[in-house]
Amino acid sequence: MLDTASWALALPAAAAALVLGYLLGSIPFGLLLTRLAGAGDIRTIGSGNIGATNVLRTGRKGLAAATLLLDAFKGTAAVLIAPVIVGGGPGGHLLALLAGLGAFLGHVFPVWLRFRGGKGVATFIGVLIGVSPLVAVGFGLVWLAAAYTTRYSSVGGLSASAATPLLLWAAGLTPDAVLFAVLALLLWTKHAANLKRLMAGTESKIGHKAAAPGADGPA
């Protein structure tokens, strides 16, 4: 266990990792890219969400792909950079996990957009890549299988996120499994509207383009 002096050093490092992750995660790439490309404000179409699925509804596949990659990258960057920049404290891996938590929270609740961000799937997988690339492959396989079978992007993301803590636990990564259980719970909460539409049979399928606020998949 850590003594008082160790905790005095650990807590600031942990807080710094969490804040660093949050700042990285809160960069709204979907909004920035669509504006720079002259596609307008992504929040005025589809679900009004800033993630890749809603960007795709502009018909700009390149922008959607770039948003997906960048939203994932900020999660990976947080995990890899935080232990290097912050250093010391409660241990590098714990700092990485805290930074990953911060990145996810930043994407879902960005202070710059009045805490109305994306739904977290891309950043979830980005954090996972930084923590365990092998389990990230498992996430991708589950997502592809579920999305291909149902044609619902939301089902793919929800299924893969639910499987992730179990995969991490099976790999012997218990602290990581706990973190991703929390992230999965938050992700499912953000998809409450999708779950209602799935049960009602009105959820938008992959490839659907919308011009007004409505359904959305994971972002």
Distance CA 215, CA 67 (A): 19
How many Å is the Cα radius of gyration of the chain? 17
**What local confidence, expressed as pLDDT, does residue 26 receive?**
95
Question: For 100-131, what is each residue's pLDDT tens digit?
Answer: 999 999 999 999 988 888 889 999 999 999 99
What's the full length of the chain, in residues?
Answer: 219
Residue ranges of the alpha helices (H) in the chain?
4-25, 29-36, 52-56, 61-86, 92-108, 121-131, 133-150, 153-170, 174-190, 192-200
138 alpha carbon, distance to own chain's centre: 16
Question: For 144-164, what is each residue's pLDDT tens digit?
Answer: 999 999 888 889 999 999 999
Instruction: Report DSSP state, residue 203.
Output: P
Whether pLDDT at 92 is above 80:
yes
Residue 153 to residues 59, 92, 102, 113, 150: CA-CA distances in angstroms? 16, 34, 25, 24, 8
- Cβ–Cβ < 8 Å for 31, 68: no
Distance CA 25, CA 115 (A): 12
- The torsion region of residue 3 among left (phi > 0), alpha (psi -120 to 50) and beta comes to beta
CA quadruple 210, 213, 217, 218: dihedral sign: positive
To the nearest 10 degrees (0 to 180), the angle between helices 61-86 and 92-108 is: 140
Residue 211 to residues 22, 55, 68, 171: CA-CA distances in angstroms? 31, 11, 20, 43
Name the token pair of 146.
Answer: 């579920």
Please name the residues in contact with 79: beta carbons below 8 A apart, sequence gap of 6 or more.
Answer: 21, 96, 97, 99, 100, 103, 127, 130, 131
Tokens 């659907």 map to which residue? 208
What is this structure's pTM?
0.86
15 alpha carbon, distance to own chain's centre: 20
Whether pLDDT at 187 is above 80:
yes
Which amino acid would we find at residue 93?
H
pLDDT bracket for residue 40 (50, 70, 90): confident
